[in-house]
Amino acid sequence: MKCLVIIPTYNESENIKQMIFEVFQQSASLDILVVDDNSPDETFKIVEEFIQEREKDIKNSPISLKSEDMIEHLSQNETQKLFLLKRDAKKGLGSAYVEGFKFAIERNYDFIIQMDADFSHDPKEIPNLLKEINQYDLVIGSRYIMGTNVVNWPLSRLILSTFASKYVQLITWMPIKDPTGGYKCIRISALKLIDLDRILSDGYSFQIEINYRIWLKNLLIKEIPIVFTDRRVGQSKMSKKIVREAVWMVWKLRIYSFFKKL
C-alpha cells in the first residue's frame, strides 16, 4: 500500500529539507511530492539540492520527466520517491493540493497525506494516520478532538481558529470538531468520487471543502488527536483575505449542496 505525502510550499526554505528527511523516517511506504509556487526564497532549489544528495550513490541516471516543470527522481531501489512540482507563480493552497491529488491518482497511490512544511504538523503522527486509514476514507489530525491541543499560538489566533471550527459546524452540519485542520490522510478511492476540477476553494477554506465533499458522499471519517505547534521558523500565510474567503465559502458550499451542485 503506497502513500504520497503532499507538501505545498511557499517560502519554506528554512524548513523543507528537514521536513523531507523526517517524513521519510516514518515509513518505507511513503513518497513525497513537494508543490512549490515559485517561492521567492527559492525553496524549490533546496528540494533540488536534496534530490541531488539522494542521487549521489545511484549508479544509473535518474529518471526525469521533462513535461512542463515536473521533475521526478527515483532512488536506486525505487522506494521512497521524491517528486518536485515547481509552478510558475503563487497559485494558492487549494490548486496545489488539487494538482497533487491528480498526480497521486494518475500514479495509482492508495492514500495521500496532506501536511504543512513548517512543522506545525509533526511528522511523527504519520504512522497514526496510516494506521487508521485502513478502516476509514478520511482521517483528520484534530487539534480539538480532545480539548485544545495547540502550542505557541497567540490567544487571538486560537480564538479565531476555535470560532471558525464552531462556525463551520453550525453552517455545514458536519460532525467534525476540527474542520479547518490541514493534517489529514485520504483514501484515493474517496478522491476519485470528487470532481476535482469543480473545487471552489483556493485558500484555507479548501480544507473545509474537501472534508465537506467527502462527508456528503457518506464516507467514513475519523478524527484522531494531534498536538499542533506553531511554525518553528518563517512567517504565517494567514491573512484577512484568507479569513474572508473562508467565511463566505462555507455558505457557498452549503447552498451548492442544497441544490445538488457538489
Range in 45-49, 160-164, 253-257 the model is least confident about? 160-164
**Average pLDDT in the 158-164 region?**
88
Instruction: For residue 237, name the pLDDT band (cuts at 50, 70, 90).
Output: low
Nearest partner of 123 among 16, 238, 9, 2, judged by Cα: 16
Range in 11-15, 121-125, 145-149, 224-228 the model is least confident about? 145-149
pLDDT in the model for residue 151 = 84
147: alpha, beta or left? (left if phi > 0; alpha if psi -120 to 50)? left
* 101/229: higher pLDDT: 101
Q: What is the pLDDT of residues 119-128, one digit of tens each?
A: 999 999 999 9
**Average pLDDT in the 44-50 region?**
93
pTM (2 decimals)? 0.89
Q: Which three cell numbers stand for residue 140?
A: 483528520
pLDDT in the model for residue 74 = 46
Contacts of 80 (CB under 8 A, 6+ apart): 24, 28, 30, 31, 32
Instruction: For residue 156, name the pLDDT band (cuts at 50, 70, 90).
Output: confident
Q: How far apart are CA 90 and CA 227, in angstroms?
A: 29
**Average pLDDT in the 146-157 region?**
80
